[in-house]
């Protein structure tokens, strides 16, 4: 499904079968079986075979099946894609995406197969072309940010505060939202710092990101917590939607909630919160 919830995208090395067998238990929204950075060149052929086996035999539960292939301009990319296209993958992650042409090349090789695409933006050129990449094909569902390669590309120091990433993050969110798709933030690399993870995830959410990349299963729960509506948000959203319904029934052009006037963007956000809450099973039985 194009607009399914993707709060988490968990990277799993394509050469690690012990982790693969627990995918359904982890409960990530999306899993990325990684054939790129996580696998050294001498191991890529074996990893490709293992990933295919995983896609066809491992229980994913409700988790979306994703694979990060190598870039198509490398000796490994098209071999990865050939394997992926013969499996039951749902989402292909395309690393180092820099232009709409990169996406269109992938789409031409996919043909008319119903497989979603998620470009990973990791360079200055990719950031500048975010909207063109996001709108290159209807099968593009999400833009992902890769901060480590990005900072290396622009010659910046990767800091804990992440001030060097602010503009790039904003551009990726704007490009994705202008194209009507999701945006997923970069990974948080310190698996022992849950407070730092939560803080960075909240910041990403405040910028408009819909989810975040993860490198360890222990990061799933905190990230899901941040990107899931709170009960307070759900209750307020219900009040907004009820006020909208009442105003429409009375033929009123102005929507009031208590002493506050509610404009259309607020009502649309409220509807989205309730939609997400329903999909996550957070609404009570008597909720609309």
Annotated binding-site residues for substrate read 68, 122
DSSP symbol at 72: T
Point out the annotated binding site for Mg(2+): 122, 149
Point out the annotated binding site: 68, 122, 149
**DSSP per-residue codes, 103-159:** HHHHHHHHTT---EEEEEE-SHHHHHTHHHHHTS-TTB-EEEE-HHHHHHHHT----
User: Which residue, 92, 104, 171, 176, is CA-closest to 134?
Assistant: 176
Q: What share of the chain is helix, strand, coil (3-state, %, to 5)?
A: 50, 15, 35
Burial 143-155 (b: 16+ CB within 10 A, else e): bbbbbebbbebee
Q: What crossing angle do the helices spanning 264-279 and 231-249 adopt, rounded to 10°?
A: 130
């Amino acid at each position: 499904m194009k607009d399914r919830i993707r709060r988490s995208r968990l990277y799993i090395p394509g050469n690690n079968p012990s982790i693969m067998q627990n995918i359904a238990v982890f409960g990530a929204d999306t899993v990325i079986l990684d054939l790129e950075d996580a696998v050294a060149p001498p191991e890529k052929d074996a990893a490709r075979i293992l990933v295919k086996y995983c896609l066809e035999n491992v229980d994913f539960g409700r988790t979306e099946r994703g694979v990060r292939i190598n870039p198509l301009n490398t000796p490994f990319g098209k071999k990865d894609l050939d394997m992926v296209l013969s499996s039951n993958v749902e989402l292909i992650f395309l690393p180092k995406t820099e232009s709409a042409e990169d996406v269109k090349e992938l789409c031409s090789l996919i043909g008319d197969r119903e497989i979603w695409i998620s470009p990973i933006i990791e360079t200055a050129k990719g950031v500048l072309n975010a909207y063109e990449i996001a709108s290159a094909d209807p099968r593009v569902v999400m833009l992902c940010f890769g901060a480590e390669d990005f900072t290396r590309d622009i010659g910046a120091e990767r800091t804990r505060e992440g001030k060097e990433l602010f503009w790039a993050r904003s551009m990726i969110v704007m490009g994705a939202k202008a194209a009507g798709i999701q945006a997923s933030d970069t990974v948080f690399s310190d698996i022992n710092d849950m407070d730092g993870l939560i803080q960075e995830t909240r910041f990403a959410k405040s910028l408009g990101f819909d989810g975040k990349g993860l490198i360890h299963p222990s990061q799933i729960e905190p990230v899901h917590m941040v990107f899931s509506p709170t009960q307070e948000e759900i209750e307020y959203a219900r009040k907004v939607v009820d006020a909208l319904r009442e105003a429409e029934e009375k033929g009123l052009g102005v929507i009031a909630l208590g002493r506050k006037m509610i404009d259309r963007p607020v009502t649309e956000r409220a509807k989205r919160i309730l939609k997400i809450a329903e999909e996550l099973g957070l609404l009570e039985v008597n909720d609309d």
